[in-house]
Amino acid sequence: MNGIVPVEGPGAWLGSQIDYRAEGMHLLSTDEIAEIDAALRYLLSLGDVDFPEITPATFPLPTLGGWLAGLGDELRFGRGFMLLRGLPRERYSSDDIARIYAGLGAHIGALLPQSYLGELLGNVLDVSDIERQARGYHAGGAQRMHTDTCDIVSLLCLRAAKSGGISRIVSAAAVHNRLLETRPDLAATLYGDYVFRRMDLDAEFGDGRLVKRVVIFSRATGEFSCNISGSYPHRAVTAGDAVMTPLQVEALEEVARIASSPEFYLDMNIGEGDIQFLNNRILLHGRTGYEDWPEVARRRHLLRLWLRVPSWPALPENQGVHSPADQPLWLRQRRPFMEVPSHYLAEMTQRKAELAA
């Protein structure tokens, strides 16, 4: 088996054997919600505070903040997921809940930009009828299992779909171990180099590297990590940057096949006001298909954070399609308050009306 050993520990779980409500859910108490309310009041008392200025100091959580600060270790060494439930969605405007979300995230780690646009808070909404070549989080339908480029990826449900749209997660460690049992040649292949071709604008406004050699599985930090995308290696092949070997293609397909098995995946219902936190290094995430509303303002709408946890070892340079050098460069494109949900929805609604005119 080329010296590769199974990944051990609580992060190597099978979804068919997990009840996330019992093993990875925190129900906010009345006191914790009161603390969040007080933090929001304090933040609003400071005036128009933009997302980069939402910090533990401007969003103080004397008790809950300690639990959030320890969540990074829990996700790193435990199951890798946590659902925060009990935030009373109906109590807050969409903009205030976005401020709360950023405030909670700031107690866990640093908020990272998510694309060349520099947004610190992603609006996950189907605007594929408005944006040309909409990215995955701006398109509807089911989403295949993948990872992002951060330590923790998080979602808050602002508005649920008409039906469907369930979050689906998989332990990459469990997928790795099954490959090692059944196809050790494919497991070894995933530790080798793949060529990824980035989105053009991410590269142009970032460090300039359009093509990057990456590994899917790594233990370079002493801990197992996985970073996988089905689209980036195929983009490289289509553009003539690389030729994938049959084993490389089969390895990606086998990961997708195992991850789509009911034995492996765990479905998590994220209701309005719920917040999901995932260890992006050991879990794959996707979603089931869903039925949405035609009006932009009524569509399924989630908010997303990418977080970097200071205590975690840096992601290996050859893993992950983006690099730390991209982040400050992307932030130069960011416009103040661009992530505020009411602003974003108004812009998308106006653009849709212009297209229809």
Q: Which helix (H) or strand (E) holds 82?
A: strand 81-85
Q: What's the whole-number mean pLDDT along residues 165-182?
A: 97
pLDDT the model gives residue 2: 66
Q: How many structural domains compose the chain?
A: 1
Q: Is residue 280 part of a domain?
A: yes
Q: Is residue 10 part of a domain?
A: no
Q: Is residue 3 part of a domain?
A: no
CA distances from 14 to 11, 170, 171, 229 (A): 9, 8, 7, 21
Residue 58 contacts residue 46 (beta carbons within 8 Å): yes
Confidence category of residue 61, pLDDT binned at 50, 70, 90 = very high
* Structural domain range at position 150: 15-356
pTM higher than the cut 0.75? yes
Q: Is residue 6 part of a domain?
A: no
Q: Is residue 152 part of a domain?
A: yes
Q: Is residue 5 part of a domain?
A: no
Q: What's the whole-number mean pLDDT along residues 151-169?
A: 94
Question: The domain spanning residue 153 has which CATH number?
Answer: 3.60.130.10
Q: Is residue 55 part of a domain?
A: yes
337: left (phi over 0), alpha (psi -120 to 50) or beta: left
pLDDT the model gives residue 7: 97
| DSSP, res 297 | G
pLDDT the model gives residue 135: 75
Q: Is residue 54 part of a domain?
A: yes
Would the pLDDT of 1 be above 60? Answer: no
Q: What's the whole-number mean pLDDT along residues 286-314?
A: 93
Residue 202 contacts residue 115 (beta carbons within 8 Å): yes
| DSSP, res 335 | P
Q: Going by C-beta distance under 8 Å and a sequence separation of 6 or more, which residues neighbour residue 14?
A: 171, 174, 263, 264
